[in-house]
């Protein structure tokens, strides 16, 4: 199983601890947060690798490149630039994964299956939230707290094959929204549906060792 550590670092820092969409709109606070969390998350997820020369080179080089790319994002808020920069970050992370995966699998304190589990959790929550922001399904300044919480629980229970708990989450969140917001919103359907689809996909990928 390939440890997707670099993708986990990028998605957690740029999507989980900052508003990636606002970075493209030249929001200085979000840019600073993205860079800061890239450093902190990068070190937190790989600190034991820094005692090795290979690990130090890999982690510090990746952090510097990713932080540098963050400063390029605000050049434009067009969808084409957004997609280009995100695919560039994806490519950089995959390149580092290809080069250093064996070293990380052997030496990192987090086992590859759990790295990929966390990566899937981040994808199903905060990465989906940013896709919703870019698609104008939610406000660009929204942190999508309800949706993130819901999709995190969906991911956890699907990965654990706990179908009753999954049903409770889906039903409970619907009741919660009815009580709190009263007026129906299409995100009540889109958010959990996207979470269920991505979580099932991740379950299959991990079970068949395709990720």
The predicted-structure confidence for 74-120, as pLDDT tens digits, reads as follows 988 898 999 999 999 999 999 999 999 999 999 999 999 999 999 99
- Helix, strand, coil share of the chain (percent; to 5): 80, 0, 20
Q: Rounded to two decimals, what is the model's pTM?
A: 0.94
Residue 211: pLDDT band with limits 50, 70, 90: confident
User: Cβ(155)–Cβ(120) under 8 Å?
Assistant: yes
CA 97 – CA 207 distance, rounded (Å): 20
Tokens of 65: 């490149």
Tokens 């708990």: give the residue.
165
């Amino acid at each position: 199983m390939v440890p997707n550590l670099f993708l986990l670092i990028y998605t957690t820092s740029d999507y989980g601890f900052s508003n990636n969409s606002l970075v493209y709109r030249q929001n200085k606070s979000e840019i600073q947060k993205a860079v800061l969390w890239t450093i902190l998350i990068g070190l937190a997820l790989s600190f034991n690798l820094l005692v090795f020369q290979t690990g130090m080179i890999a982690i510090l080089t990746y952090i510097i490149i990713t932080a540098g790319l963050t400063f390029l994002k605000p050049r434009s808020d067009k969808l084409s630039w957004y997609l280009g920069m995100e695919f560039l970050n994806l490519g950089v992370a995959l390149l580092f994964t290809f080069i250093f995966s064996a070293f990380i699998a052997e030496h990192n304190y987090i086992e590859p299956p759990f790295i990929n589990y966390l990566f899937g959790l981040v994808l199903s929550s905060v990465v989906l939230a940013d896709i919703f922001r870019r698609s104008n399904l939610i406000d660009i300044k929204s942190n999508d707290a309800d949706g993130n919480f819901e999709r995190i629980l969906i991911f956890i229970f699907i990965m654990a094959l706990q179908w009753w708990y999954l049903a409770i989450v889906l039903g409970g969140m619907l009741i919660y929204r009815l009580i709190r917001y009263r007026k129906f919103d299409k995100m009540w359907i889109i958010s959990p549906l996207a979470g269920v689809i991505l979580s099932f996909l991740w379950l299959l990928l991990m079970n068949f060792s395709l990720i």
